């Protein structure tokens, strides 16, 4: 039972005490309860108080009392996965309020192990009164998913691959207030999600898609770069580039190998001269990228210069569309050890795109390469880095973020997006379906998100550098 700010306890058994202690309960018409005498009144009040406390929490009106009356219920789909478990741990460590985290996945055995892992890693934070449990569910079975989501305050969906927005649709139908997914989809997932905007508004749901590290955190970095350029007096934004580096699987699950392979069969969703012009260049256009701002940046030592090749990250399309660039967008990723980059680029140039698009082929190749990736992962650190560059008029803004663990960075970013939205239930609540760049259009929201992301455990570096062409000319001279 949780203590209320008014010093009492709220729950069915203690409801009569809470009734006399909570101001808003006192304002209820007493006549209705006292009509048939005290005994009846007390038991009716007990039921009513506990129900109303929970209901009020979901409407975020009696925020201080109600928040303490019920735990915030978070359903974590993919909760037994690599990113899911790390997201659960981060939620438990960073939430200011007690949470009831329900890990959900298809395998009971994996679920039990995940529950133990989360409980042991969450450590001291469990003192806040959090609860962690596991529920077996396949999200493709809407009939089984709906009852699990019913009454939840938040759904965090990490159970990819993301092809159809079934979970979003069910969350909206069940009127779950906060929905966040870490979709890094190829295909039309995000377009389909956006068509649910009106339904989300009607259901009073704030839904955020593509909200991991990339896409997700990186989209927010791009909007901040664009804002810094425009504030410096630039008339227009020209180009935007997203580059990423992850050593091997970076602690994430094998499903990410499958997703990478499938992506080689898809067009890279880029802009050319301000227009959407997808290119069949995935796995090509190898280039070198500096994942640091300058030599004093810790990322210079930890990550340095790396090879990247093009891959169809959706932010190369959704961010330019949102910030209205007049030039080109590009997106690429690289891995370590460097030999993997050359093997992948060679394979992509040899095999037809149709074959990569074929799920059976891409899955077979993922399973074939998994032991080798696992073996090389034993010798490389989990390091991950992102570099986002936006240019406009004569300005250039570069953002670099580096983290000790790819898996944790994705998980922490998603969890922070969820905590941000949960916090907004008590303030700036704007229902609808969002991509991270839309949420970040608002300056205050963007500042709050960046503060959250840059303060996560394991962050090596997170910063911006704004330069003008004349400054760069001066430095060269």
Of 84 and 432, nearer to ligand NAP (C-beta) is: 84
Binding-site member from 105, 165, 312, 332 for ligand NAP (CB under 6 A)? 105
CB-side neighbour CA atoms (13 Å) of 334: 26
Kindly tell me which of 163 and 239 has the beta carbon lying closer to ligand NAP. Answer: 163
**Residue with smaller CB distance to ligand NAP, 55 or 192:** 192
Q: What angle do CA 399, 400, 405 make, to 5 degrees?
A: 145
* Nearest-approach distance from CB 376 to ligand NAP, in angstroms: 17
Q: Residue 165: count other Cβ atoms within 10 Å of its Cβ.
A: 27
What does the H/E/C string look like for 313-344? Answer: CCHHHHHHHHHCECCCEEEEEEEECCHHHHHH
Interacting span for ligand NAP (CB under 6 A) from 101-109, 221-229, 386-394, 420-428: 101-109
Burial class for 377, CB neighbours closer than 10 Å (0-12, 13-18, 19+): middle
One residue of 72, 252, 260, 383 binding ligand NAP per CB under 6 A: 252
Least separation in angstroms between CB 107 and ligand NAP = 3
Tell whether residue 213 is a contact of ligand NAP (CB under 6 A).
Answer: yes
* Binding piece for ligand NAP, criterion CB under 6 A, among 207-215, 295-303, 377-385, 390-398: 207-215
Residues 259-298 that bind ligand NAP (CB under 6 A): 259
* Parallel, antiparallel or unpaired: strands 432-434 and 206-208: parallel
Whether residue 215 is preceded by a cis peptide bond, meaning omega within 30 degrees of 0, is yes
- Does position 253 interact with ligand NAP (CB under 6 A)? The reply is yes
- In angstroms, give the least distance from the CB of 197 to ligand NAP: 20
Residues in contact with ligand NAP, counted by CB under 6 A, come to a total of: 33
Q: Per rule CB under 6 A, is residue 383 in the interface with ligand NAP? A: no
Which of 132-140, 359-367, 372-380, 430-438 is the region at the interface with ligand NAP (rule: CB under 6 A)? 132-140
Burial zone of 54 (CB within 10 Å; 0-12 exposed, 13-18 middle, 19+ buried): middle
Single out the residue of 165, 215, 269, 283 in contact with ligand NAP (rule: CB under 6 A): 215
**Binder to ligand NAP among 216, 248, 263, 320 (CB under 6 A)?**
216
What DSSP letter does each residue of 236-290 carry, written as one string? -B--EEEEEEEETTTT--THHHHHHHHHTTS-B--EETTEE--BS-TT---EEEE
Distance of CA 66 to the CA centre of its chain: 27
131-136/99-105 β-pairing: parallel
For ligand NAP, the closer CB: 98 or 216: 216
Strands 305-310 and 287-290: antiparallel
Write the binding mask 140 to 169 for ligand NAP: x where contact by CB under 6 A, - elsewhere.
x-----------------xxxxx-------
Residue ranges of alpha helices (H) inside 95-176 are 108-122, 142-149, 166-173
Check binding of 184 to ligand NAP (CB under 6 A): yes
List residues near ligand NAP by CB under 6 A: 77-78, 80-84, 105-107, 110, 137-140, 158-162, 182, 184, 212-216, 252-253, 255-256, 259, 410
């Amino acid at each position: 039972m949780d203590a209320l700010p008014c010093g009492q306890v709220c729950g069915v058994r203690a409801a009569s005490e809470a009734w006399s202690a909570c101001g808003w309960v006192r304002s209820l018409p007493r006549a209705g309860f006292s009509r048939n005498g005290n005994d009846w009144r007390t038991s009716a009040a007990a039921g009513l108080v506990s129900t109303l406390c929970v209901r009020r929490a979901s409407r975020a009106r009696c925020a201080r009392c109600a928040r303490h009356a019920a735990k915030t219920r978070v359903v974590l789909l993919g909760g037994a996965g690599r990113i899911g478990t790390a997201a659960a741990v981060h939620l438990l460590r960073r939430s200011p309020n007690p949470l009831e985290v329900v890990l959900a996945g298809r395998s009971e055995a994996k679920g039990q192990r995940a529950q133990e892992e989360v409980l042991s890693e969450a450590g001291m934070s469990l003192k806040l009164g959090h609860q962690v449990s596991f529920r077996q569910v396949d999200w493709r079975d809407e009939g089984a998913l709906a009852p699990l989501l019913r009454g939840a305050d938040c759904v965090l969906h990490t159970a990819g691959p993301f092809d159809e927005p079934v979970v979003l649709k069910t969350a909206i139908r069940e009127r779950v207030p906060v929905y966040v997914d870490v979709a890094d989809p190829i295909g039309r997932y995000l377009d389909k999600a956006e068509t649910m905007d009106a339904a989300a508004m009607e259901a009073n749901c704030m839904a955020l898609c593509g909200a991991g590290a990339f896409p997700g955190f990186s989209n927010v970095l791009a909007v901040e770069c664009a804002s810094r350029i425009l504030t410096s007096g630039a008339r227009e934004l020209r180009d935007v580039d997203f580059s990423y580096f992850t050593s091997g699987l970076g602690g994430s699950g094998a499903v990410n190998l499958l997703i990478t392979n499938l992506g080689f069969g898809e067009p890279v969703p880029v802009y050319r001269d301000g227009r959407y012009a997808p290119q069949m260049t995935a796995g090509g256009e190898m280039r070198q990228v500096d994942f640091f701002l300058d030599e004093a940046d810790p990322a210079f030592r930890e990550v340095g210069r790396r090879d990247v090749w093009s891959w169809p990250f959706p932010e190369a399309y959704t961010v330019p569309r949102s910030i209205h660039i007049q030039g080109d967008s590009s997106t690429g990723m690289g891995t370590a050890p460097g030999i993997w980059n050359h093997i992948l680029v060679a394979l992509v140039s040899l095999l037809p795109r149709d074959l990569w698009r074929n799920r059976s082929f891409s899955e077979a190749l993922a399973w074939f390469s998994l032991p080798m990736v696992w073996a090389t992962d034993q010798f490389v650190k989990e390091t991950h880095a992102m570099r986002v560059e936006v240019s406009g008029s004569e300005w250039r803004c570069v953002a670099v973020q580096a983290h000790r663990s790819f898996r944790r960075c994705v998980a922490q970013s998603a969890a922070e997006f969820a905590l941000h939205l949960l916090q907004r239930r008590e303030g700036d609540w704007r229902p609808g379906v969002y991509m991270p760049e839309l949420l970040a259009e608002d300056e205050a929201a963007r500042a709050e998100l960046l503060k959250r992301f840059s303060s996560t455990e394991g962050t090596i570096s997170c910063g911006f550098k704004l330069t003008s062409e004349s400054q760069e000319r001066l430095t060269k001279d």
